[in-house]
Amino acid sequence: MKKQKKTKKSSKLNLTNSKLFDLLLNIFRENKQKLNYKQISKRLEIKDMGVKIQLIDVMKEMARSGIIEEVQRGAYRIIEKTNKITCVIKNTNNQGAFASIDKNNEVFIDKKSSQFVLAGDEVEVNLFPKRKKRQEGEVVNVIKRKKLDFVGEIDSTSTNYFLIPDDRRVSFDIFLPPKSIKKDYINKKVLVRVEGWDKKYKNPIGKVIEVIGNIKDHNTEINSILMNYGFAPNFPIRVEEAANKINHSISKKEIEKRLDIRTTTTFTIDPKDAKDFDDALSVRKLKNENWEIGVHIADVSHYVEEGGIIDMEAIERATSVYLVDRVIPMLPEVLSNDICSLKPNVDRLAYSVFFEINEKAEVIDYKIAKTVIHSDIRFTYESAQEIINSKKGLLVTEILLLNRLSKILRRKRQENGSINFESSEVKFILDDDNMPIDVFFKESLSTNHLIEEFMLLANKTVAKHIGFPKKNAKPFVYRVHDLPDKERISTLNEIVKKFGHNIENNNPKILSKSLNYLLNKVKGEPEQQMVETLTIRSMAKAVYTTSNIGHYGLAFDYYSHFTSPIRRYPDLVVHRMLDQYINKKQKENIDLEKICKHCSEKEKIASQAERDSIKYMQVKFLKNKVGKVYEGVISGVTEWGLYVEITANKCEGLVKISSIKNDHYIYNEKTYSITGYRTKKSYQLGQKVRIKIQRADLEKKQMDFVLV
């Protein structure tokens, strides 16, 4: 069990009024009865008469402020004010929790008054009288807990048993009743469900519901990451059984209902390790010399019945999870990798958007239809790129045409204000034992951009088809992206001015073009990483919602997700709604906004799980390189230290501020820097540094660096 910090009962003579205020406030909150200075002095073990007089003065000041009231000569009690709000916990630390009151204000809740809350919990908070610009409060009721299951190891070093959670953001251990513990649970990773949150006890009470596996085993660690974020590594047997019963064959009756384009040249371009092919493209020359480009998406809605057992599992997962060494699909593999996957040389059902496009990449017309397709060939991004580079190979005419059109579409989109973020993907090369033996950077090819542009075009078209005009729009699922944070853009502008750059922020369209110009201008410059990082951080997070505010980052007034129903649940919902509206089907109302919020949250959680798996693999990769020196770039600055990303392999570690011995460093949140009090030496986000690997802790998925 983690050692509990003892509350220091002070008898020091140099207690400040502010410290006494905090001590008194805690005592009055915990004890609703009247108390005089003698009773309080006894509780605080204060014997010095001077401090007792100081205590009386502070109580009088608290009474004048309306925090306590004198109910009998010299005896006070806290004034009960009912000022309750319902809010959601933003984050927690070892001191307590923070919750949003509104857009600009938050409340701090001391750990003692928090009832074990975690980020995402919906709570009822009683607000205390505000002092020193900081709003404090206490949790009086937990309305809904976001997390009930916790992954970790059992501490059996004492007479009691406690789960020590893997997640370092959880500041409490979980008590496990001794009678519930089996020998098989010890020295294993386990999944525990909390069954009691009674605030009278020091710890929540839990029960082991699953043994994940042996500690330090690779599969155990990866499954622990998944289960910590609420993703089951495997599907329930009943879901697998339901999927295995689905008929693979396409009936003649079904084909007759659809547009049959099996004779049209059709192909897929995907990563070489992909197994689930969501999308395919087709190309056909029209009599008027224009081109018909078809974007064909797996018709998952045909096979997954709404409200059925597979659908219920899919909505709970909401997304596929892409970890370093595996994919945890949203749908059982018989669907995701076989029946729905648009594999070559087999007939497949699709939902398609056909574009009539001229040589200037102008969309003349479009149509949306359910289809049956037959992919002629499967390209990887690399094999299709080779055809573009050499201008020869299978379907060279079609691929060169799509490449040319996609470049025009991309240029037009960026001219219209779409922000151009370029990033390289880190990939690990693993041996047979899943040990990382090397790292490489996967750069975007022209073929990546080719597929991206036509998927964006299909998503935009489907959203506009249903949502235009906005005043008469039917309920629909949109993918929206709000305007950047003004304060962060202002901070970014102040920083880039030091490097001779400037950001125009007169209106959103000018801002996007200015950011594109800035991102292009800093390429290859020392400040590139800092500018790119801060620009990304200033952006809002794209989410799903029924309220269409447009997509700022893409500069689209209408945007949705239609192109990946195998791996994203919102796309499956969009397919169903599109079919409903096009064919004027009557359907029961569903809570679309609730689905949108759930899917947005699951997307966020899946990306956190992905980052944890990368962090685990990075630590594994560097474990045998302790003591080595590398060049790196400061990727984050906090009050506790510098996060540094190694240039050669993109692995990130922490340089603790306490390890920088030559000075006392002060953190500046606005400039993303720390500065030495005496030497004035500073370290800033994006700055190049040299580090030595001091420690690589697999258990904590944490690396410690020191500056050299």
CA 26 distance to own-chain centroid: 36
Q: What angle do CA 418, 422, 425 make, to 5 degrees?
A: 140
More reliable by pLDDT, 573 or 157? 573
Predicted pLDDT at 82: 61
Structural domain includes residue 104: yes
Calpha distance 110→419 (Å, rounded)? 41
Same domain, 72 and 92: no
Out of 53, 78, 103, a domain closes at 78
Predicted pLDDT at 14: 65
Same domain, 322 and 426: yes
Mean pLDDT comparison of 49-63, 283-297, 509-523, highest-scoring range: 283-297
Phi, psi of 83 (to 5 degrees): -130, 75
First to last CA, the chain: 36
Extract the tokens encoding 308: 């059925």
Find, among 642, 631, 618, the residue nearest to 691 by Cα. 631
Predicted pLDDT at 131: 66
* CATH code at position 688: 2.40.50.140
DSSP state of 347: E
Calpha distance 610→323 (Å, rounded)? 5
Beta-carbon contacts of 68 under 8 Å, excluding residues fewer than 6 positions away, are: 28, 59, 62, 76, 77, 78, 79
Same domain, 382 and 409: yes
- Residue 584: which pLDDT band, with cuts at 50, 70 and 90? confident
CB 237 within 8 A of CB 214: no
Q: Sign of the CA dihedral 484, 485, 489, 490?
A: positive
Structural domain includes residue 220: no
Predicted pLDDT at 5: 41
Is residue 433 helix, strand or coil?
coil
- Residue 132: which pLDDT band, with cuts at 50, 70 and 90? low
Structural domain includes residue 211: yes
Predicted pLDDT at 4: 44
Structural domain includes residue 603: no
CB 584 within 8 A of CB 332: no
Beta-carbon contacts of 336 under 8 Å, excluding residues fewer than 6 positions away, are: 275, 276, 320, 329, 330, 566, 567
Same domain, 176 and 313: no
* CATH code at position 21: 1.10.10
Same domain, 275 and 169: no
Amino acid at 52: K
- Residue 671: which pLDDT band, with cuts at 50, 70 and 90? confident
More reliable by pLDDT, 569 or 216? 569
Measure the CA dihedral 543/548/550/553, to 10°: 0
Measure the CA dihedral 254/258/259/264, to 10°: -40
- Residue 251: which pLDDT band, with cuts at 50, 70 and 90? very high
116's torsion region: left (phi>0), alpha (psi -120 to 50) or beta? left
Residue 6 has pLDDT above 80, yes or no: no
Find, among 37, 72, 80, 35, the residue nearest to 57 by Cα. 37
Residues of the chain with pLDDT > 70: what percent?
Answer: 97
Stretch among 22-31, 184-193, 253-262 having the lowest mean pLDDT: 22-31
Domain that holds residue 437: 239-476+563-598
β-pair type (149-155, 161-165) = antiparallel
* CATH code at position 162: 2.40.50.700
Same domain, 306 and 428: yes
In this prediction, residues 22-39 reach a mean pLDDT of: 84
Helices (H), 169-298: 218-228, 237-244, 252-257
Residues of the chain with pLDDT > 90: what percent?
Answer: 68
Q: In whole numbers, what is the pLDDT of the chain averaged over residues?
A: 91
Stretch among 70-84, 136-150, 373-387 having the lowest mean pLDDT: 70-84
Stretch among 300-309, 539-548, 691-700 having the lowest mean pLDDT: 691-700
Is residue 40 helix, strand or coil?
helix
Residue 696 has pLDDT above 60, yes or no: yes
Residue 3 has pLDDT above 60, yes or no: no
For residue 4, with 0-12 CB atoms within 10 Å meaning exposed, 13-18 middle and 19 or more buried, which class applies? Answer: exposed
CB 570 within 8 A of CB 596: yes
Out of 598, 618, 652, a domain closes at 598
Same domain, 397 and 253: yes
Out of 129, 144, 159, a domain closes at 144
Same domain, 254 and 389: yes
In this prediction, residues 456-474 reach a mean pLDDT of: 93
Task: Render 591-640 in DSSP notation, one character per residue.
Answer: -HHHHHHHHHHHHHHHHHHHHHHHHHHHHHHHGGGTT-EEEEEEEEEETT
The neighbouring-strand residues paired with 630 are: 691
Residue 123 has pLDDT above 90, yes or no: yes
Residue 87 has pLDDT above 60, yes or no: yes
Q: What is the tens place of the pLDDT at every residue in 305-347? A: 999 999 999 999 999 999 999 999 999 999 999 999 999 999 9
Same domain, 274 and 130: no
Predicted pLDDT at 103: 74
Stretch among 79-88, 224-233, 290-299, 630-639 having the lowest mean pLDDT: 79-88
Find, among 671, 628, 624, 664, the residue nearest to 646 by Cα. 628
Residue 8 has pLDDT above 80, yes or no: no
Calpha distance 125→106 (Å, rounded)? 11
Find, among 529, 390, 411, 548, the residue nearest to 482 by Cα. 548
Phi, psi of 597 (to 5 degrees): -65, -40
Structural domain includes residue 10: no
Same domain, 422 and 358: yes
What is each CA distance from 532 to 329, 336, 522, 529, 637, in whole angstroms? Answer: 31, 35, 9, 5, 15
More reliable by pLDDT, 559 or 111? 559
Helices (H), 468-591: 486-497, 508-521, 528-538, 569-582
In this prediction, residues 30-36 reach a mean pLDDT of: 81
Beta-carbon contacts of 79 under 8 Å, excluding residues fewer than 6 positions away, are: 66, 67, 68, 69
Residues comprising the chain, all counted: 708
Structural domain includes residue 515: no
Find the helix or strand (DSSP H, E) in which 215 lies.
Answer: none
Find the helix or strand (DSSP H, E) in which 447 lies.
Answer: helix 446-467
For residue 380, with 0-12 CB atoms within 10 Å meaning exposed, 13-18 middle and 19 or more buried, which class applies? Answer: middle
Same domain, 300 and 356: yes
Calpha distance 509→497 (Å, rounded)? 21
Structural domain includes residue 700: yes
HEC assignment per residue over 473-484: CCCCCEEEECCC
Predicted pLDDT at 81: 65
Same domain, 132 and 158: no
What is each CA distance from 128 to 89, 98, 469, in whole angstroms? Answer: 17, 14, 48
Q: How many domains does the chain have?
A: 5
State the CB neighbour count (10 A cutoff) for residue 51.
18
- Residue 9: which pLDDT band, with cuts at 50, 70 and 90? very low
Structural domain includes residue 481: no
